[in-house]
């Protein structure tokens, strides 16, 4: 992994995680309008909502120095999704915290990109941003994201599971699982 601090660009063997650009808005909006991509979220996003998400990530970066970054392929530079770190805006028993998250277009599922990008983001969180813990959460039924969390070495304690406060009572996706990675556990995973 290579980090370019001046531009906030992180390179992995196959990917580049970078700040958002104006040209990302159209392909990102297409991805967020796809019901397959958004099946574990409250709803698909309109173009305006998708653009506002990018605006929030750019503001988050200005405030915290990190965000969910745009993820592009090294070869060809196509935007394929997002991955990175953020501070959730809701309150729960584990907040305030830093969360790691990802979202990729379906054409790029099953290729290990989510794990590769998330691993790079997690390394940044623990080394550059000195996080003491990074969490990840998703709807209880989101097996693909849970597998990524487990591949990263994150651990789940069922007593940490919670009802997402941004979803109404009775909503099918309200129950969420929480995975954690303390800094000392991450340090043990890194090869010497």
CATH pick for 2-189 out of 1.20.1250.20, 3.40.50.1820, 3.40.630.30, 3.20.20.140 = 3.40.630.30
Is the model's pLDDT at 1 over the cut of 70? Answer: no
Q: How confident is the model at residue 103 (pLDDT cuts 50, 70, 90)?
A: very high
Tell which residue, 125, 43, 29, 134, has the closest CA to residue 88: 134
Q: What is the helix (H) or strand (E) element at residue 48, kind and residue range?
A: helix 47-64
Is the model's pLDDT at 4 over the cut of 90? Answer: no
Any bridge partners for residue 156, and if so which?
Answer: 179
Structure tokens given for 2: 């290579």
Q: What is the helix (H) or strand (E) element at residue 188, kind and residue range?
A: helix 183-189
Tell which residue, 149, 176, 156, has the closest CA to residue 83: 149
- Please provide residue 48's backbone torsions phi and psi, each rounded to the nearest 5 degrees: -65, -45
Q: How confident is the model at residue 191 (pLDDT cuts 50, 70, 90)?
A: low
The predicted pLDDT at position 2 comes to 47
Cβ proximity of 68 and 82 under 8 Å = yes
Q: What angle do CA 125, 116, 9 make, to 5 degrees?
A: 55
The predicted pLDDT at position 188 comes to 81
Q: How confident is the model at residue 187 (pLDDT cuts 50, 70, 90)?
A: confident
Burial class (CB in 10 A: 0-12, 13-18, 19+), 157: exposed
- pLDDT digit string, tens, across residues 73-97: 999 999 999 999 999 999 999 999 9
Which stretches of 22-127 are assigned E, i.e. beta strand? 68-73, 79-86, 99-104
């Amino acid at each position: 992994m290579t980090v370019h601090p001046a531009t906030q660009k992180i390179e992995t063997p196959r990917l580049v995680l970078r700040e958002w650009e104006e040209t990302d808005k159209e392909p990102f909006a297409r991805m967020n309008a796809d019901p397959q991509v958004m099946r574990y979220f409250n709803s698909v996003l309109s173009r305006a909502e998708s653009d506002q998400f990018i605006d929030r990530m750019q503001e988050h970066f200005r405030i915290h120095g990190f965000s969910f970054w745009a993820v592009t392929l090294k070869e060809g530079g196509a935007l394929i999704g997002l991955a990175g770190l953020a501070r959730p805006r809701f309150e729960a028993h584990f907040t305030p915290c830093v969360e790691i998250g990802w979202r990729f277009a379906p054409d790029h599922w099953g290729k290990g990109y989510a794990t590769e990008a998330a691993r790079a983001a997690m390394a940044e969180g623990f080394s550059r941003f000195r996080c003491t813990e990074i969490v990840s959460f998703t709807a209880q039924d989101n097996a693909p994201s849970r597998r990524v969390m487990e591949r990263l070495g994150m651990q789940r304690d069922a007593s940490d599971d919670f009802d997402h406060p941004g979803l109404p009572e009775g909503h099918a996706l309200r129950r969420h699982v929480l995975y954690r990675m303390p800094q000392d556990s991450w340090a043990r995973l890194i090869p010497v």
